A = this chain, B = another copy of it.
Amino acid sequence: MNVVNESPRRKELTRLAAQLFVQEGFDRTTVRMLAQEMGIKSGSLFHHFRDKQEILAAVIEEGTQNALSLARHALEQCGASPEERLHAMARAHLETLLTDRNAHVVALYEWRRLDSEARAHLSHLRDAYEALWEAVIDEALDGGLIRGDRFLVSRFVMGALNWTVRWYDPEGPRKPEDLAHELIAMIAPSTQAAQAGSTKV
């Protein structure tokens, strides 16, 4: 068995699993469906993963890791103003959700299907990502870009972002970047973003 290993094959299988988990949900995805999608028999799956739980854990780890590094990169590239930083975070978040459209979605929507030890092992990753958000939200509050209760504002923003998964149409005209722009225009109406947002309609 290949449990700890991070072989390229396992990476690829994780990618395919993420896709199915998004399509069907974790519970409805059977090991036989996973195997078929991967072009192998169901028994062979357990050469790469100890059990179904571990597949979920692998997907969620990759999804969060990916979101985290993309967000960090975006923050390094962008300017220093609270608005630019908030925009960079929102854009990065939406791109991992809507363009890649796989592992990060699973991380958000199937988190509670993890057993307690997997949750314990992955929560630090999750916390790191959320800390990034909290910091950027704090800057925006301190800079007067937005107003309100830290706790509530960050959760409302995350809700607006995470819910996009339910209605976003990748074939449509709107890109993740546009969504990020409009969201910030909505909550910070005294900015350039707001002007652009209201005339763009």
Q: What 1/0 mask marks residues of chain A from 176 to 201 whose CB sits below 8 Å from any chain B CB?
A: 00010011011101100010011011
Q: Which residue of B lies closest to A108 (CB)?
A: B166
Q: Tell whether, in the assembled complex, residue B186 and residue A189 are in contact, meaning their CB atoms are under 8 Å apart.
A: no
Q: Tell whether, in the assembled complex, residue A164 and residue B159 are in contact, meaning their CB atoms are under 8 Å apart.
A: yes
**What is the CB-to-nearest-CB distance from A32 to chain B, in angstroms, rounded to a whole number?**
16
Copies of this chain in the oligomer: 2
A162 partner residues in chain B, CB cutoff 8 A? 159, 163
Q: Which residue of B lies closest to A111 (CB)?
A: B166
Q: Cβ of A157 < 8 Å from any Cβ of B?
A: yes
Q: Cβ of A161 < 8 Å from any Cβ of B?
A: yes
User: Within the complex, which residue of B28, B147, B166, B185 is in contact with A186, where a contact is CB–CB below 8 Å?
Assistant: B147
Q: Cβ of A158 < 8 Å from any Cβ of B?
A: yes
Q: Which residue of B lies closest to A152 (CB)?
A: B182
Q: Tell whether, in the assembled complex, residue B182 and residue A149 are in contact, meaning their CB atoms are under 8 Å apart.
A: yes
Q: Cβ of A25 < 8 Å from any Cβ of B?
A: yes
Most buried by B among A146, A150, A152, A185: A152
Q: Tell whether, in the assembled complex, residue A186 and residue B146 are in contact, meaning their CB atoms are under 8 Å apart.
A: yes
A residues with a Cβ closer than 8 A to B are 25, 27-28, 146-150, 152-153, 155-164, 166-167, 174, 179, 182-183, 185-187, 189-190, 194, 197-198, 200-201
Ranked nearest first, the 7 interchain pairs of A and B with the lowest CB-CB distance are A159-B163, A27-B27, A156-B160, A159-B160, A147-B198, A160-B160, A152-B182
Chain A to chain B contacts (Cβ below 8 Å), 22 pairs: A25-B27, A147-B186, A147-B198, A148-B182, A148-B186, A148-B197, A148-B201, A149-B182, A149-B201, A150-B201, A152-B174, A152-B186, A153-B182, A155-B164, A157-B160, A159-B160, A159-B163, A159-B166, A186-B187, A187-B187, A189-B189, A189-B190
